[in-house]
A and B are shown apart, each in its own frame.
Chain A
Amino acid sequence: MTQETKKISLILSSDNHEKVQLAGMISSVAAVTGIEVLVFVSMGAVKKFKKGISDDERFSGGSFSKILREKKVPPYIDLFRQGKEFGGVRMFACPMALEVLGWTKDDLEDNLFDEVAGMTKFLIEADGSQLLNL
């Protein structure tokens, strides 16, 4: 018996651009395919969502990132935004990761994060879904 995937919960913890790009791709494509997506952005990944960072900072961290940048793949911020606009992507920012950096939600890209919510809330919300970690 196969179970049709209806919800994916994605923990994004890496500050490696390739993984953040992939998370954006999974989120946006899942969202437009009727799959509910919950993204928990924690650890070094929060740095990739800081408001006003340069493209050098956005495309850093992966050996594949250079070619992705050259080929002008869709910016990951745009993918997450499209996921929110076209479908059910919700994004949580990890309060611990923000706190160690001395940041607040206002330091992150606008109109992306639904809330700053911790692991407990995330695990409750993720209950019953497929869990991925990038």
Chain B
Amino acid sequence: MLDLKVSKTVDARGAFCPGPLMELIGSMKTEPVGSVIEILSSDHGSAKDIPEWIGKVGHEYIGTEQKEGYWSIVVKKAK
């Protein structure tokens, strides 16, 4: 998973649902198609919801890594 170069990291740690998802969406809007974006979230619900949203709207879910007290979710803007 980490062979991909992350073009942007969104640090949403400390934010509660649906904050992290909204921050990801806001950031994705300004990135070009093909961008690999990493979002950091300390909110477990959001960490589960973000891949769901990615699947629903048609972007690419790369993977999730659990770190110390937060999750790193990597996605790719597909369109």
Which residues of A are in contact with B by a Cβ distance under 8 Å?
25, 28-29, 32-34, 71-74, 79, 82, 86
Contacts and interface: CB of A to CB of B under 8 A. Distances in A.
Contact of B53 (A25, A32, A79, A82): A32
B21 A32 contact: yes
A33 B57 contact: yes
Contacts of A25: 17-18
Nearest to B57: A34
B22 interface: yes
A13 B15 CA distance: 27
Contacts of A71: 16
A128 to B, nearest CB: 21
A34 B21 CA distance: 14
Given A72-B16, A74-B15, A28 B53 contact: no
A74 B21 contact: no
Contacts of A86: 22, 25-26
Interface string B46-61: 0001000100110000
Given A25-B17, A71-B16, A73-B16, A82 B57 contact: no
A28 B22 contact: yes
A34 B17 contact: no
13 contacts: A25-B18, A28-B22, A29-B49, A32-B22, A33-B57, A73-B16, A73-B17, A74-B16, A74-B18, A74-B19, A79-B18, A79-B22, A86-B26
Contacts of B25: 32, 86
Nearest to B56: A33
Contacts of A33: 53, 56-57
Given A28-B18, A29-B18, A32-B25, 13 more contacts: A25-B17, A25-B18, A29-B21, A32-B21, A32-B22, A32-B53, A34-B56, A72-B16, A73-B16, A73-B19, A74-B16, A74-B19, A86-B22
